[in-house]
Structure 1
Amino acid sequence: MQILDRIELYVVNAPLAAPFAPSWMPGTIRHNVSFTLARLITDDGVEGWSAFSGGGRDRAGIGDTIANLFLGQDPEDIERVSERIQIMAVGGNFNWWLEPAFWDIKAKNAGVPLYKLLGGTHDRIKLYASAGEIKEPAARREEAEARLEDGFDTMKIRIHDFDEQVDIAHISDAATYMQGRMKISVDCNQAFRLTQNGAAPLWSLDRAKRFVDAAADVGLAWVEEPLFGEWHEEIARLTAYSRVPIAGGELHLMGYNELARMAKMGCYNIFQPDAMWAGGVKQGMDLSRLCRERGLKFTPHCWSNGFGFIVNAHVFAASGFADEMLYEYPFAPPGWVPEGRDAIIGQPFVHNRGWFDMPQTPGLGFEIDHRALEKHGRCFFKASRKERHWMPEALADIR
């Protein structure tokens, strides 16, 4: 039996082409894409890779725990992998992002791309352009025109103002300006609060109702996460009330069990679990099947880095929803573009006129650019079944 023989952990900080101001983190300007990278190696040399967003030393202490839980184990036993990730979570540390690395190994062993291993047949998936920054109406019009020229027929914009009339004015202007040429949706970024660098509004159910009324009046395609993610009852009431589809579910760390409960409650019309946060690949696929059974829609979130984009693309391509839904394409030039987002991946994941061609090589379907990894990354932990090495000096200059 093949077993997991070695683990390596890296912290990676690669520069973006220009500063990027994510709407979900008020007061934050990002100059780098930063993540923890995991490399898993079996006793016969098969490698699995995954990476998770982080600001530096976020996961500096997880090496021994990962080694204790996974070294010597069968990397294809996804049920056991999921159980052991849950063991990590008991200690307060959610690491669903590790699970796709085991799927990378499993699909490489099978000699097929992951989405085909999962039963998918869609070699090409249609995308929507996902903007990441707050912009004034004139700048948003220019951005929408640019995305239309790029080949996208749907774009998701962002709003985040304390004054609800400002938010309503933003969606109304964009939808009216692009009417008949491009569909507009909106992400309200209310499901979780990242307020460490700046204050953010917290919407009430009443405010959310007024907003979805305005969104329906101007024909928005969907409204994403207009209420705090733990307010399940309020979300269900809003979804039942709304004349426009309500979407969400990206960062529910408890994974399938919470999301399935929310689906049965009627919390969202469109579920968007991100495999890197919300239960991994397996639980994402489980939720897609439940959505089909209950007449709901499914398309994953993927704003993190290139690893998050491609992992969730495999889930979407195999989900059974690729014929009727669009997949997210994070794109906010000049700062957030594939070359920066996919910093250590050999070939960045670029769209083709609003479509994405799924990789056909086994596993997740990419090669690591080891020169870029050496330049932008620092290995801080290595372990085998025989020995372990911490390299704290690799983290000394990381903030």
Structure 2
Amino acid sequence: MPVIDRIALHFVNGPLPAPFSPAWVPGPPRRSTLFYLAQFVTDDGIEGWSAFSAGGRERAGIGDAVANLFLGADPTDIGRVRECIHIMGVLGVRNGWLEPAFWDIKGKLAGKPVYELLGGKAVPVTLYASSGEVKDPAARIDEAWARYEEGFRTLKIRVHDFDEAVDIRQVQETARAMEGRMKIAVDCNQAFRLTQNAPGPVWDLARAKRFADACADVGVAWIEEPLFMEWFDDMAALTAYSARVPVSGGELHTAGLPELRHMIEKRCYRIFQPDAMWTGGIAETMEVAALCRQHGLGFTPHTWSNGLGFAVNLQILLGSGFANECPFEYPLSPPGWTVEARDVVLARPWTHERGVLTPPTAPGLGFDIDGEALARHGKCFFRADRKSRHWMPEALKD
């Protein structure tokens, strides 16, 4: 039986080619992409990797817990891995993002992509381009044409203005400009509030209904997270009201399956979009997909994080049986958020051909880490084996 023999935790700070102002974080633009990178190595040298978005150094102290729980453990026993992650949660930090690294090892040991272990098969994946910034109508239409020329046939745009008329104008002018060529979806970014740097608008049910009606008038494909993530009754009411435009969401429900099960049974959304890196890992998100199937709801994971998060959620989509039913999110918002910046430590970025992605066939999660890029943009702050542990706090200094 293989066991985990070595662990390394890295902090990655990848530069962006231009300032990037994500709609969900009002305030100064970002100039880099930050994430934690976990590496688990078995006693026979098989590596498993996973990553999680960072705001700063909030996970700098998890090394001891990771070492205590996983060194010497069987990486193929996903049930035990999940139990250990729940133990970490009791200690105050949710770390479901670590679980995919063990699937990476399990797939490599089996010589199969993770989606095959999940019961899926390789099928071409239709992508939708997912923008990240708020733009005025003219700039948004230019962006839509650029994505159309690249082969995408669906574009998700962002709205986040205090004046709802501004949001509606952007959506309607873009949809009318692209009518018959490209579908437009809209992310309202109301489910969670990251207002530490600047305030943001708060929608109520009445505003969300007016917005849904305005979107329906121009054939919008779906509206995403138009209400706060804990307003379950209002979400269900909006979904029932919005018969012409599906309401979607579910990306950052860190309580995972129990909360999402409640939302599915309540029909808070018609399309669920959990992100495995936040909602508990691959196994838990697959259970969410099964519940969506059982209740006749759509399912397509959220992927806005980094290239590893994209890979994990791609494996889930392919394993879930929904790959032919819902397009898959492809984060792309140049000039700041590019494919190369998103996938900064991957040996090969996740690219597409005219809006379609060919599934990976390599064992595990389907990517390789670029060691030179990791050395250039990342710093190891904790390393352990079954005999010793080494903290490198200087790696986390500015």
Return the TM-score normalized by structure 1.
0.98
Give 1:25 deviation, angstroms: 0.3
**AA paired with 1:203?**
W
1:296 aligns with 2:292: no
Counterpart for residue 350 of structure 2: 349
Output the aligned Cα RMSD. Answer: 0.9
1:328 aligns with 2:329: yes
Counterpart for residue 53 of structure 2: 53
Counterpart for residue 236 of structure 1: 236
1:66 aligns with 2:97: no
Counterpart for residue 123 of structure 1: 123
CA distance in 1, matches of 2:79, 2:120: 20
Tell me whether 35-44 or 50-59 shows the greater mean CA deviation. Answer: 50-59
Counterpart for residue 271 of structure 1: 272
Q: How many residues align?
A: 397
CA distance in 2, matches of 1:90, 1:235: 29
The answer to whether the 8 A contact 1:22-1:28 is kept is no
Counterpart for residue 84 of structure 2: 84
Counterpart for residue 317 of structure 2: 316
- Measured against aligned partners, the alpha-carbon deviations of 1:318-373 in whole angstroms (never above 9, x if no partner) come to 11111111000000011111111111110111111101111111111111111111
Give 1:93 deviation, angstroms: 0.8
How do 1:75-114 and structure 2 match up within 5 A? 75-114=75-114
Counterpart for residue 337 of structure 1: 338
The answer to whether the 8 A contact 2:123-2:323 is kept is no
CA distance in 2, matches of 1:293, 1:89: 29
The answer to whether the 8 A contact 1:21-1:30 is kept is yes
* Residue aligned with 1:315, SS: helix
**AA paired with 1:307?**
L
Counterpart for residue 166 of structure 1: 166
The answer to whether the 8 A contact 2:17-2:336 is kept is yes
1:185 aligns with 2:206: no
The answer to whether the 8 A contact 1:20-1:30 is kept is yes
CA distance in 2, matches of 1:231, 1:212: 17
CA distance in 2, matches of 1:368, 1:84: 26
Instruction: Give the percent of matched residue pairs that are identical in Structure 1 and Structure 2.
Output: 61
CA distance in 2, matches of 1:152, 1:28: 30
- Measured against aligned partners, the alpha-carbon deviations of 1:196-236 in whole angstroms (never above 9, x if no partner) come to 11100111111111111111111100000000001111111
* Residue aligned with 2:360, SS: coil
CA distance in 1, matches of 2:166, 2:395: 45
Counterpart for residue 205 of structure 2: 205
Give 1:123 deviation, angstroms: 3.4
* Residue aligned with 1:277, SS: coil
Counterpart for residue 283 of structure 1: 284
Residue ranges of structure 2 left out of the alignment (5+ in a row): none
**AA paired with 1:39?**
Q
CA distance in 2, matches of 1:75, 1:236: 39
Q: Which runs of 4+ in 1 moved over 4 A?
A: none
CA distance in 2, matches of 1:357, 1:335: 25
The answer to whether the 8 A contact 2:118-2:319 is kept is yes
The answer to whether the 8 A contact 2:50-2:97 is kept is yes
Give 1:63 deviation, angstroms: 0.3
Give 1:100 deviation, angstroms: 0.5
Give 1:237 deviation, angstroms: 0.9
Give 1:131 deviation, angstroms: 0.5
CA distance in 2, matches of 1:391, 1:157: 41
CA distance in 2, matches of 1:140, 1:63: 43
1:7 aligns with 2:27: no
CA distance in 1, matches of 2:286, 2:348: 26
Return the TM-score normalized by structure 2.
0.98
Give 1:50 deviation, angstroms: 0.6
CA distance in 2, matches of 1:31, 1:114: 33
Give 1:16 deviation, angstroms: 1.1
Give 1:91 deviation, angstroms: 2.5
Counterpart for residue 38 of structure 1: 38
**AA paired with 2:376?**
K
The answer to whether the 8 A contact 1:130-1:332 is kept is yes
Counterpart for residue 372 of structure 1: 373
**AA paired with 1:348?**
P
* Residue aligned with 2:340, SS: helix
**AA paired with 1:322?**
A
